[in-house]
A and B are shown apart, each in its own frame.
Chain A
């Protein structure tokens, strides 16, 4: 019996005293009426039924980190849909004579190497970058966790095939793969780029999901559900998924930043979005050679990228914590 003084379990039960130790009848009725720990909640009466999701939502609504990151993301979505709301200018209206000039009235962020207004371009660039980041992440997370989760759950030949397939995908160099695959694409929209990222990104999530599912599957509560006669889909959705989702959320939100940056790299190499399009990636790669002369042209798009990535990571963290009852 190892001792764990750091996490002592249980509080004192039934403070009633003086009763003889004749527990023949009273054992069940007086014992352990009070569970240990005693979280901040749960002191009230039974009330309406609660579930993991409703509890998580209650928790999130009171979490300042969640509120802050959700507001940032809401703002990003807003300017992605209607960039002209706060940046009425034309991001493509550039004047080479103003190249690399600093901030001035009406142009708070200054001008970049082509003489374009950095403020306007940063706001208008949100649409592409956020779309690429969010769509690629969602695609990767869904495809990866479904494939990896099923492989981990059912095992056998399906698992072996999938594991070897992920090995093959891991061996493909991302940039080289992008050069080859995207060079044949003519469309100048974000979708080929998103598709490429999903294609190369899912194995990462699938591995994590597979491992998390295998860990969760071995728990006795899964056996208990089977012994009750639960169907495989019920076991997967009710017992395994909620317990395996945390690492997927963490990795996916971190990957989101990578995808926005990858879009920039691909654009820089000329296989992503091409110049009439506006994106943070394009601007960051365009501004990096002039970092000494015009740091402001690099600062604003990369600052926007950093804030976006941070907001998603914090959101992911908050959601993960809210889904873990132990942390409430």
Chain B
């Protein structure tokens, strides 16, 4: 297993209290596999990724438990220096907002080349040549000239390509992409997702794709982990999940999105709001919004029940949800 996150807990201490952002998340990604982590804002999907990458702001954040095994090594026990070496070289991250993730006062060539200078000890000239190669690889036209341009001179889609090139530079085994296409227009979004999928196949990387978009997930993911209130509520191969969700939250999400290929009358919305992380409901965190909730849901936190060999659902009534009429 390339990345194996086990029972991760993250808290944020704020003036108002402790926000429990991640409450026991476990997931695993293998080489060449795409795991989509799906969730709404506040579900803990990005915080989990930051903890895995080791870029969580501490304080206010704090990892209070769990392990992050990368090729069998627990990253959380590594020294800062070792951790830095893993980051960038073996695992890399792509952010949503490429404009703020790139340094505005350095040319893209310098920023790409820096990776090779720092991690590979290349000369400036060689590093520049590799930078151009990378820019060609991610589909930036006239790369040899544009390598001297600054980030703001590129369009949103081109900047996201440069981010991908940076993530790819040292050929990491794992890429974590946090909403990589959310800020982009649909036509550009399609270009970028295609590029990511293609590069992943080529280099056999593991890809953790963090998103709120069920459409994007369906297009590229192999497996999917649905997060709610800092926990994984359902984990399944992508085809199974869309065909028959085993958690009422997943089902609610699928039913609540309008479809391009049909005209709906009324969307079946999930009632209520996502929970306050400082005050997560007892029992199943989803129970106040759940149409299937019963007494046990108010008191007992559901474990991730095994639905079949490779799927799990954190719902006491997953069977009913899975086979629920209609």
Contact = CB atoms under 8 A, between A and B. Distances in A.
Contact of A14 (B45, B275, B278, B288): B288
B271 A30 contact: yes
Contacts of B294: 18
A5 B19 CA distance: 7
Contacts of A157: none
B19 A6 contact: yes
A32 B272 CA distance: 5
B275 A12 contact: yes
B76 interface: no
A17 B212 CA distance: 25
Contact of A12 (B212, B266, B288): B288
B269 interface: yes
Contacts of B40: 1
A11 B276 contact: yes
Given A2-B96, A14-B288, A17-B290, A32 B46 contact: no
B53 to A, nearest CB: 14
Nearest to A20: B291
Contacts of B44: 3, 5
Interface in B254-295: 255, 266, 268-279, 281, 287-291, 293-294
Interface residues of A, number: 28
B273 A32 contact: yes
A12 B273 contact: yes
Given A11-B279, A12-B281, A21-B255, A1 B212 contact: yes
| Residue picked from A5, A8, A13, A27, most chain B C-beta under 10 Å | A5
A19 B19 CA distance: 29
Interface string B53-83: 0000000100000000000000000000000
A184 interface: no
* Majority-rule SS of B interface residues: loop
Interface in A23-76: 23-24, 27, 30-32, 36
Contacts of A30: 271
Contacts of A22: 268
Interface in A150-194: none
A31 B287 CA distance: 15
Given A1-B40, A21-B252, A8 B277 contact: yes
A30 B252 CA distance: 17
A27 B40 CA distance: 20
B291 A10 contact: no
Contact of B41 (A4, A6, A19, A21): A4
B12 A1 contact: no
Given A17-B288, A27-B269, A27-B271, A1 B41 contact: yes
A9 interface: yes
B302 interface: no
A15 interface: yes
Contact of A11 (B45, B46, B273, B287): B273
Contact of B288 (A2, A3, A13, A27): A13
A32 B270 CA distance: 11
Contacts of A18: 291, 293-294
Nearest to B21: A5
Contacts of A1: 40-41, 179, 182, 212
A43 to B, nearest CB: 15
A4 B252 CA distance: 23
A131 B117 CA distance: 65
A4 B179 CA distance: 14
Interface string B229-271: 0000000000000000000000010010000000000101111
A208 B91 CA distance: 46
Contacts of A5: 12, 19, 21, 42, 44, 47, 277
B271 A9 contact: no
A11 to B, nearest CB: 5
B263 to A, nearest CB: 16
Contacts of A12: 272-273, 275-276, 279, 281, 288-289
A251 B182 CA distance: 40
Interface of B: 12, 14, 19, 21, 40-47, 60, 96, 179, 182, 212, 252, 255, 266, 268-279, 281, 287-291, 293-294
10 contacts: A2-B96, A2-B179, A6-B12, A6-B19, A9-B42, A10-B273, A10-B274, A12-B273, A18-B291, A20-B291
The list of the 7 closest CB pairs from A to B, nearest first, reads: A13-B272, A5-B21, A8-B277, A10-B273, A21-B291, A3-B46, A17-B293
Given A3-B47, A11-B273, A20-B291, 8 more contacts: A1-B212, A3-B21, A3-B44, A4-B42, A5-B47, A9-B41, A12-B281, A21-B255
